[in-house]
Chain A
Amino acid sequence: MKQGTILKKKALSNNSFEFLVYAPDIALSAKAGQFVLLIVDEFGERIPLTIADSDPKNKTITLVMIVVGTSTYKLSKLKESDTLYALVGPLGNPSKLIPSKSVVFIGGGLGIAPIYPIAKFYRENLKETKITTILGAKNESLLFWQDKLSTVSDRLLIATDDGSCGVKGFVTTVLKDLLEKEAIDLVYAIGPLPMMKACSNTTLPFKVSTIVSLNSLMVDGTGMCGGCRVIIDGKVKFTCVDGPEFDGHLVDWNRAFLRGRIFNQEERCSYDIIVDKALNKNN
């Protein structure tokens, strides 16, 4: 079987999916916090996706994605036994184990997937540490992996924008409440940029170190293109070789937002074409 073959596909919502992918070398080397780059088909671009889980014994990795543009749209259309055009990894630096008494892991939206391997890594290596996980989504139907995350957490808290599950509000509502009530040494936040920024801003007055995982645009993922550059503490860093995890209090969020929008026009054009094509085919 070829590396990159899809063994299982599961819909998490109408536009987000979980893939179990055959990848022996990657599964064997992957550590929490690392990512892969993949190309869906021969016309495809190289996109980074965090490794949401890996199983060296069965030689598989798990990837979770949501449709946001051309590449993720194409990926969402792949079926079981299809093979990705290319798959390379694991890339980026693994998460560091920071000895702590109480850690909070926050997964917002699709960020629920990449937060899982890090929480699992902490659970397996720091038995005494109290692990709290906060999951956030627009509504209950967009939540997933509560079961997986509860097995690696001492408690699981949930926030939904509409209150359909857990607390009505954002993950920061729950986070602030915790920070006010108890001693927390470390916060890990992964999700959309505004969510990670909000979490970092929430912990700043409490002086609690906060780690975020950036998902910058990149081509090679090995330091060569410099497209994934971000500003950390006033210095230029490359997400692929210096990250993807950074101190949330030192990230220049404004710059990160703007760099994420660089190809907005081109992405829109490409996506419109591909969706049009799909519609015409169906008609």
Chain B
Amino acid sequence: MSDSIDNKNTSTPSSQKQRPTLLPVDERVCSFSEVSCGYTEDQALTEAMRCLQCKKKFCTSGCPVGIDIPSFIKCIREKKYEDALGIIKQYNSFPAVCGRVCPQEKQCESQCILNKKSNSISIGLLERFVADRVSATNTSSIKISNQSEASYKDSLDNSKKFKVAVIGSGPSSLAVSGQLSKNSDIDIHIFEAFHRAGGVLVYGIPEFRLPKTIVQKEIDELCSKGVKIHLNTVIGKSISLEDLQKDFDAIYIGVGAGLPLFLNIPGEELGRIFSASDYLTRNNLMYAYRFPKYDTPIATGDRVCVIGGGNVAMDAARTALRLKSKKVTLIYRRSMKELPARAEEVEHAIEEGVEFLPLSAPVAFESDEEGIYVKRVKCIKMELSEPDASGRARPVPVPGSEFYVDTDVVIVAIGSSANPILTSSSNLSLNKRGYIETDESGATSIKGIWAGGDIVTGAATVIAAMGAGKKSARAILEYLHNK
């Protein structure tokens, strides 16, 4: 802490990046409390002072929603936090979320001129600081009920000029709704399949990375602007897309990622082998980590293997540690350098004791004597060959290098494929992989229907989904007013 005060006094642009206080490792692994405490005001001011306020805004060019970063940082320097938030919110309705979960090192921070000396401005932490700081002084009191009244039809507001249905309540849907809610003549209805709104922000990303209260605050704020959320409603099952078309002038589809991919190797159907979304949903949405106070069980064990190297794999591995596993091994087929996860998550995972087994791939799961539970993973060593279509080095198995890892639980975190529930019951044009085809603005093959986020792009980031939502919101507004 004393460091930051010294830095503030000198406030030279060459000073070092401010590090946020982190929860000590031993406290982290026995709770689900947020790991990063974010910046104190002093730290934020010091960090903001380091910004060179470049005329040419490289950082902004690296932001998927084009936030005017130098301007909001300037406001922080002047302690005008409300103004800073105002600037961010012109581009991004959910800074408290994005400040925490964006892969800044691959986006804005990678473009920062100071990054040449690996000393980029911590833009994400500053964004989070502004959002948390202002929100601490404002509180919203609207709460949504978990069980909806009779039918959405009863809550349609005919005094408003337009009606828009938003399917799903994850990042892209929230972004669309946030943008559209600025127009008082639109009646916005969100339809969510789960019993809680927020999509991947509540079922996928764990509490220790994104506290649920942060997400809830954003959702409450939307509701206070008149957005209606219908929980427990699966469009394509409970209500058809055609029925929605009758009641709404425009529809946005943001139903997110879909079916978990499995490895398709022998033994994968054994007990205690989970998809990451099963494991994480049990924990995050259903509070399985508080079993038996909460009824949803989850398998715990001394040894856990996680397969994959993305953010979801890190979330799963770090969740397993918090469920009191003694040894968590992350098996990844490429090298540490290629890990697709956010740098901070990898760093935290290593600090917390996740062991990495890079250049290895599972080839089979073997069971205990009863044949119910997984007991060990048969793996093979991999080596990297020339780059594949994705531009990443292609991993190839090393013949004869098989080895075993004993385990009690396995979590498969290797991505997802398109969910067919909504699309199979509609005439929407899909691509070969089953994702919805859209133009630049997210317009689908059906007039009046837009789509964005993972159901269009396949698994991607929260901010990319929000960016897509924002673009579609603009197109929807234009469409409504020209109707």
Q: Do the two chains bind?
A: yes
Whether, in the assembled complex, B388 has its beta carbon less than 8 Å from a beta carbon of chain A, the answer is no
Within the complex, what minimum Cβ distance (angstroms) separates A136 from chain B?
28
Contact yes or no, A223 B193, CB < 8 A:
no
Size bracket, chain B contacts: 35 or more
A24 CA / B297 CA spacing, docked (Å) = 31
B239 to A25, Cβ gap below 8 A? yes
**B residues 199-242 with Cβ under 8 Å of A?**
231-234, 237-240
Contact with A along B365-377 (1 / 0, CB 8 A): 0000001110000
Whether the pair B372, A258 counts as a contact (CB closer than 8 A) is yes
Residues of A with C-beta under 8 A to B149: 1-3
Q: Identify B147's interface contact among A59, A85, A263, CB under 8 A.
A: A85
- Determine if B185 is an interface residue (Cβ-Cβ < 8 Å): no
Partner of B419, one of A88, A224, A231: A224
**A-contact 0/1 string along B265-276, CB 8 Å cutoff:** 000111110110
Selected contact of A24 from candidates B151, B272, B291, B421, CB within 8 Å? B151
Please state if A222 and B193 are interface contacts (CB–CB under 8 Å).
Answer: yes
Q: B residues 253-296 with Cβ under 8 Å of A?
A: 257-260, 262, 264, 268-272, 274-275, 277-278, 281-282, 285-287, 291-296
Whether B269 lies near A229 (C-beta < 8 A) is: yes
Chain B residue with the shortest CB-CB distance to A1: B150
Known: A3-B148, A226-B259. A262 touches B238 (CB 8 A): no
Give which listed residue, A24, A42, A46, A262, contacts B299 with CB less than 8 A: A262
In the assembled complex, the Cα of A226 lies from the Cα of B411 at a distance in Å of 12
Query: Cβ of B268: which chain A residues have Cβ within 8 Å of it?
Result: 236
Q: Are A29 and B291 in contact (CB under 8 A)?
A: no
Could you say which residues of chain B place their CB within 8 Å of the CB of A262? 271-272, 299, 372-373
Instruction: Chain A residues near B372: list those with CB within 8 A.
Output: 258, 261-262
User: A24 CA to B243 CA in the complex, in Å?
Assistant: 14
A261 to B194, CA, bound (A): 25
A193 touches B (CB below 8 Å)? no
**B420, CB-defined interface residue at 8 Å:** yes
Q: Count of A residues near B, CB < 8 Å? A: 52
Known: A225-B278, A226-B278. A91 touches B237 (CB 8 A): yes
Cβ contact within 8 Å between B269 and A46: no
Select A88's contact among B152, B232, B291, B299, beta carbons within 8 Å: B232
Chain A neighbourhood of B258, CB < 8 A: 223-224
Q: Which of A24, A46, A269 contacts B286 (CB 8 A)?
A: A46
8 Å CB interface, B393-437 against A: 419-421
- Interface flag for A157 (CB, 8 Å): no
Does B146 belong to the interface (CB within 8 Å)? yes
Chain A nearest Cβ from B219, distance in angstroms? 17
Interface residue A244 (Cβ < 8 Å from any Cβ of B): no
Query: Among the listed A44, A70, A88, A223, which residue makes an inter-chain contact with B233, where contact means beta carbons less than 8 Å apart?
Result: A88
Given A1-B150, A46-B286, are A89 and B296 also a contact pair (CB < 8 Å)? no
Alpha-carbon gap, A90 to B275, bound state (A): 24
Considering the complex, give the chain A residue whose CB is closest to the CB of B371: A258
Given contacts A45-B296, A88-B234, A270-B297, 10 further A-B contacts (CB under 8 A): A3-B148, A25-B239, A59-B150, A90-B237, A219-B282, A220-B281, A224-B257, A236-B264, A236-B268, A266-B292
Query: Which A residues are closer than 8 A to B by beta carbons?
Result: 1-4, 24-26, 29, 39, 42-46, 59, 70-71, 74, 83-91, 219-220, 222-227, 229-231, 236, 238, 241, 255, 258-259, 261-263, 266-267, 269-270, 273
